[in-house]
Structure 1
Amino acid sequence: MAVPHSVAPQSVPQPAPHVAVAHAARLAHNYDPLPVTIATAQGSWVTDTSGERYLDMLAGYSALNFGHRHPALLAAVTAQLDRVCLTSRAFMHDRLEPFTEALCALTADSLALEGTSPMMVPMNTGAEAVETAVKAARKWGHERGVAEPTIIVAAGNFHGRTTTMVSLSSDPEAREGYGPYTPGFRVVPFGDAQAVADAIDESTVAVLMEPIQGEAGVVVPPPGFWASLRSVCDDAGILLIADEVQSGLGRTGTTLACDLWDVRPDLVTLGKALGGGIVPVSAVVGRADVLEVFTPGTHGSTFGGSPLACAVGLAVVDLLATGEVQERARVLGDHLQTRLDDLVTDELVAEVRGAGLWAGIDLMPGWGSGRDLCRALAEVGVLIKDTHGATVRLSPALTIDAEDLDLGVDRLRQVLESREASEEL
């Protein structure tokens, strides 16, 4: 179907019952994608194998903060492909130090450095970055005489899908069936600083949380929560670790989401957007006195910090260095939130949460599932993603045109109004 410029309510397809998409016979069924097969992409738009175009309002869960195939990122990767792609960390290469210096400079003002210089550990995926932060915190604790270090985490978290990461998850779908689980984590309610304080004992070495919970439905904590976390960790002499794999690098209208509250964590995990949507790149950035626990042979990665990864990561940092991308995300984000709030006022959706160009939307009871809404929107040329039942997420590229952003919200409103109108007949 061609994507129309406007959609009359009666022409919007109604959400269909969930139907699994056919998979290739040899492809494991660990995903259930919408019936869209993407062949090409540019900016905020993708084209499927039949030539139909769709507005991408998901942007790879924030991995595509700069849109598909950003010219500056493509240029950096193309130039590096002509030079060297991989050396392994058995040798140095000429892109590693510039990337390290640039990323540390970008994040330095957002970190609690305790009088030290920032340090960085490059990895590949977001889950690897969080695993690295967990290892650093545990080793830091061991060196201070903590025999069995524990880390406090939040219910509703999403930190990845490795065995350790699902061990600290409270999501049954992500967790069940993967035991025995890695010990050493205590789960408390998200947004409850007193619960964190009550969970701390002599074994606690760190608090690890997402500033805003992405997979949970873009759940924003109550005012003062992160400031209280910082105080609780300072009083206990433990580390505050922010998982900014989804929320960082401009998504919330600030370089890091923690900047929204002027709170400086000791360690930050970064990923997704750090690779520009081209290659997986992640990192842990933070206090040198913590990350110095890693010595030769104690932690590593074959591809982490490769020349190709550093080239694209450096180009990403360059795009963020002036602050223009962050400011644009803040301004467009305010506009997006205003338009989504109107959907609540008009009783088309139950609740909207968000920061910058990031939003979670809860559907009205009885409307259908988030998956239903995603299927209906795909039918009118807009791609988003559901999570946890009747909730959907929006995370468009930070480079999206204002007109395209409005187009996406217009289509969302039209689909919601169409369902409402059909129920009144």
Structure 2
Amino acid sequence: MTTLEVRPGPAVLAGIERGPSLAAHRAQYGDLPRPGLDELLALVESAAVRGRGGAAFPFATKLRTAARGRRRPVVVVNLAEGEPASSKDTALALTRPHLVIDGAVVTARALGAREVHVVLPGERPQVVAAVTRALAERDDRVRTSTHVTSGRFVAGQARAVVELVSGRDGLPVTAWVPEPVSGVGGRPTLLSNAETWAHVARWVLLGQRGYAGLGTASEPGTTLLTWSLDGTGGTQPTTVLEVPFGSRFRDVLPAAAADRPVLVGGYHGAWATWDTLASARVSVPQLRLLCVPLGAGVVLSADGCPVDASLRIVSWLADQSAGRCGPCTRGLPALAAELTAAADGTGDLDRVRELAGLVTGRGACAHPDGTARLVRSVLTAWPDELAEHARGGCTMSGAGTCQELAS
């Protein structure tokens, strides 16, 4: 069982030592205000609040779009942390559940929404229990429903969440319009992850003074990072920490991260050398320029060989598809098999690149694209190690041979 350490932070993780109860939350923040829609829009626009689920989409744009719909909107809290390497929403559920719920409730009131749906991860029972307890403490006069996912990797994808809330299988489907235009029951649906809702609530509760001096002019505020020494689903401790945007990675990551290969952004992220990451800052646009997406805010330091870690992750991802389109059902297994063959010297890296290109941009969701991104990154970041593998060797395993690590 993985041990989770949640460190106190400067904003949404401030005061977590007081406990997760509603009484402790209200003692710290006071009663939840009731801003109107225009006031809430002004707040989140001035704060430049962006989604923390990976896309970094402006929250105000989603809010305004949902408000313009002809039908009554729906609000959805996405706690379905399908990314196994991420624990930031789990950390908030365990330490700051009422901050997350406040964000959804204050937005629902401003929109005139009558329903708040909370989607919980079936593979994380401690989250289900914590959020259920928190909801039982409240009386917001807003109808709240909970939904539990199947625990699959793709269950946290936005359209999969909409499908689950709509009473269907929680798997991705092709969507022709964004959720704020048409989501649950065809109604405008404002769907964000737990971290985004927590930031919305804190801006409403404290305003600018709650973020004074945090972040940069272009990226104000903070973000949550999940760091682990073992990026392949092992039992190494996982740490969630809150850092201001603009911080240097070398200054905020644990010392054990130094000089190890790092996978940034989770299983749909990209590999980088420690030198590349150490010289970078926690910044969505800067990391995009380095072709290393921040994504779900995951930094995995490989405790061993990144090639073998990639083989395990890509094979696992190939088994996690919704099974609804060719790029997932046929393309990803073929990509995993070809990458494995290239690493053991029986395959062709050019064929790996070809398959990565074939699955990109053709799926019903972004699962093939994210998997292909990870594959391309290992080819780019560790070409010498792949060549060594093809010769039957390995220079980077930290605990035994690559064959032992893969078993």
TM-score, structure 2 normalization: 0.28
Larger RCO, structure (CA 8 Å, separation 6 or more) = 1
